[in-house]
Amino acid sequence: MSGFSEYCASKAGVMGFTKSLAMELAQFNICVNCVSPGITNQILWDKPIKDIPNDNKSYINRRGKTDDIANAVEFFCRDESEYIIGQNLIVDGGRSLGLKQ
């Protein structure tokens, strides 16, 4: 989208850094990955900061919760992910598929 050049550059930088660091640290059995979160309701001390209506433009018809992102990060911390390296996990409820018509 136009007007998001800084955001796009920083996101691409994180993904490139992830891949490079993954290659450098693999020899030490360290797996490096990143998570790209979608739009989420912000939670502060377990209370919503503001009420955001359901997101009817994503395929699951809701905004993400902070736990949705935390669960993805937790997965990368578990032994079950030990063969995943240099990847970007997009956690956005399908929004990156394009907006629902």
CB 97 within 8 A of CB 38: no
Q: Is 59 a catalytic residue?
A: no
Tokens, residue 50? 């503001």
Which of the following is catalytic: 6, 7, 86, 87? Answer: 7
What value does the CA radius of gyration of the chain take, rounded to a whole number of Å?
A: 16
Spatial CB neighbours of 21, under 8 Å, sequence gap ≥ 6? 32
Positions annotated as catalytic residues are 7
